[in-house]
Amino acid sequence: MVQEKWVALSNTTMGVLMATINMSILIIALPAIFTGIKLNPLQPNSFVYLLWILMGYMIVTAVLLVTIGRLSDMFGRVRLFNMGFAVFTVGSILLYLTPGTGDTGALELIIFRIIQAVGGSFIFANSYAIITDNFKKEERGFALGINAIAATAGMSIGIVVGGILATINWRYIFLVSVPVGIVGTVWSYLKLKETSPRKKQRLDIPGNITFAGGLIILLVGVTYGIAPYKTSAMGWGNPWVQVALIVGTILLIAFPFVERKVRDPMFNLSLFKIRGFTAGSFAGMISSMGMMGFMFMIIILFQGIWLPIHGYHFASVPFWAGIYMLPMTVAMGIFGPLAGRYSDTHGQRWLASTGLIVSGVALLLLVLLPADFIYIFMAILLFMFGAGMGIFTAPNTAAVMSSVPPDVRGSASGMLSTLRNVGTTASMGIFFSILILGLTTTLPHTLSSAVISARGGSNLAGIMAKLPPTEAIFGALLGINPIKAILELYPTIPISPSAYATMTARTWFPTIFAPAFMKSLHIVFYVGAAIVFIGAIVSIFREPLRKPKAEKADKLETKPESSDISDRAVKMKR
């Protein structure tokens, strides 16, 4: 039994780490990928490809997690977890072998990423449940803490790994997952044993259609909402975006009513009667919003402003951005397991809430830093933010998974992971909308005036006045010199060699971009802090740990149960 639980922990942690690394590895490697498939990322039609390569993985996992969690309760969590490792590995191989270039290559990357995301969904949906099945109550916080921190730290590690591999060959960022996937697949098939009770139920077709359709349509609307539309900097005025947001919302509102009518609903709404599950799940979703939004904003700050100003060439800034963000990763790695171990004996509620408060304070303190900050102060705040997220994540996950009956842990794990992924995807729309809205009012005039001052001519100044802020933002995110890339799109514009040299210099664009960006970034940090503090308040309302219930739950876990006995246990619990 001792060996089995460590096999379960190590295997699920390996899977989650691999899957989350691949969620963020593209953020840094996108410049090399676009160069490799011979596609200019600042061409108008390329922006949609960029969004889908970045967000397609998140959308697919967010949509599939609940369904897969339910299927895992029906057919076995370990079986579907193993399948996830295999599918993820196949997707990674296909990405490495991407044959096309240009638009075709971009479409192939999106399709293969979706295959990879399907495998990742099987891994995410079952990891927490498998660990909870194999560890006793008094050890669960520590074990889930390691797994949860692997999921959180994987986002930061992916940035570093992507930066290193992209400098060698863009295909290597996909190849790196293949040996891990092969080892994990073989190991899990040979060593990981099924311990979960099975539930004989029917697949909820109406619920799946309503939930998946609503979530896909809504998240697609959010994705295209931050893309330029005609003369507007964002797409929220696009009729198709508005229709997507309305239809997606209507379907999701209808979803719980559909679930009440079907015999075996995919979304176990009765779990929301458990206060610990409800508070912990929504706190997890809110924390994911703050985490992903924070990471993207800091990456843009590093790559678009701070690193070029401090002598780093645009081609190398993605790698160094990953290096300079390591304090956050280190903090999560230190405080996650410690918080999990502490919560096993002292409870989760106040510890998890304290973690979010620490991260929220770090976001507020970031407002005090200028664009040309002294790095030691940024490192301290990165460490502080990461420590807070580490302190929150492990106890929160343990509390959520310990609050539900054993035979619905697959569904609970899928629901928890779904809410986290929805928060991650929604944060893109929220934080980028705030950032773009602020830049729209100041950046075009600032850029056109700077072009005139550099003697770039009125034609180029007119182009810069119409430049969507998204191109400047994603140019910085891609680690390229946006001005140089834009000039390559307009080779016929007359410009003197001296003006060209001035405007394509390493520090010219960052210096001009910084004032407008920092003004908008401060608003983002304020909103992010408010979101994280709301998460802390939600977390406080979870039920405190009561030992009599915990002992009863452990007895249920250690007895082999048939599906009929399991169903009666669930009814008694309700």
- pLDDT of the residue at 520: 86
- pLDDT of the residue at 379: 95
> Distance of CA 378 to CAs 9, 111, 324, 413, Å?
34, 38, 9, 35
Q: Is the pLDDT of residue 147 over 80?
A: no
Instruction: Place 367 in a pLDDT band, splitting at 50, 70 and 90.
Output: very high
Segment 39-55, tens digit of pLDDT:
776 666 677 777 788 77
Model confidence, pTM: 0.77
Q: Is the pLDDT of residue 557 over 60?
A: no
Segment 411-437, tens digit of pLDDT:
777 778 778 877 877 787 788 888 888
Q: Is the pLDDT of residue 561 over 50?
A: no
- Who wins on pLDDT, 183 or 246? 246
- pLDDT of the residue at 133: 78
Enter the tokens of residue 16: 């989650």
Segment 107-125, tens digit of pLDDT:
999 999 999 989 888 887 7
Q: Is the pLDDT of residue 374 over 90?
A: yes
Instruction: Place 84 in a pLDDT band, splitting at 50, 70 and 90.
Output: confident
In order of start, what are the domains of the chain with their CATH numbers? 2-203+266-307+315-439+515-555+563-573 (1.20.1250.20), 440-514 (no CATH)
The predicted model gives 201-206 an average pLDDT of 74
The predicted model gives 289-300 an average pLDDT of 82
Q: Is the pLDDT of residue 97 over 80?
A: yes
546 contacts: CB under 8 Å, gap ≥ 6: none
pLDDT, the chain, mean: 79
- pLDDT of the residue at 314: 76
- pLDDT of the residue at 200: 66
Instruction: Place 197 in a pLDDT band, splitting at 50, 70 and 90.
Output: low
Enter the tokens of residue 424: 């991650």
- pLDDT of the residue at 543: 62
Residue from 274, 541, 292 nearest 400 by CA: 274
Tell me the Cα Rg of the chain. Answer: 24
- pLDDT of the residue at 196: 61
Q: What is the rounded (10 degree) CA torsion for 357, 359, 360, 366? A: 150
3-class SS at 98? coil
| Planar angle of CA 427, 428, 430, nearest 5 degrees | 60
Instruction: Place 554 in a pLDDT band, splitting at 50, 70 and 90.
Output: very low
Range among 19-28, 381-390, 473-482, 500-509 rated most confident = 381-390
Written as one letter, the residue type at 24 is: S
- pLDDT of the residue at 60: 83
Instruction: Place 556 in a pLDDT band, splitting at 50, 70 and 90.
Output: very low
Segment 217-254, tens digit of pLDDT:
887 887 788 777 777 777 888 899 899 999 989 998 99
Question: Within 13 Å and on the Cβ side, how many CA atoms surround 179?
Answer: 3
Q: What is the rounded CA–CA span in Å between residue 340 and residue 326?
A: 21
Enter the tokens of residue 269: 């709404």
Contacts of residues 330-333 at CB distance under 8 Å and 24 or more positions apart, as own/partner, are 330/383, 330/386, 331/382, 331/383, 331/384, 331/385, 331/386, 331/387, 331/390, 332/149, 332/152, 332/153, 332/156, 332/386, 332/387, 332/389, 332/390, 332/393, 333/149, 333/153, 333/390
Segment 151-177, tens digit of pLDDT:
766 766 777 787 778 778 888 888 888
- pLDDT of the residue at 195: 67
- Who wins on pLDDT, 192 or 98? 98
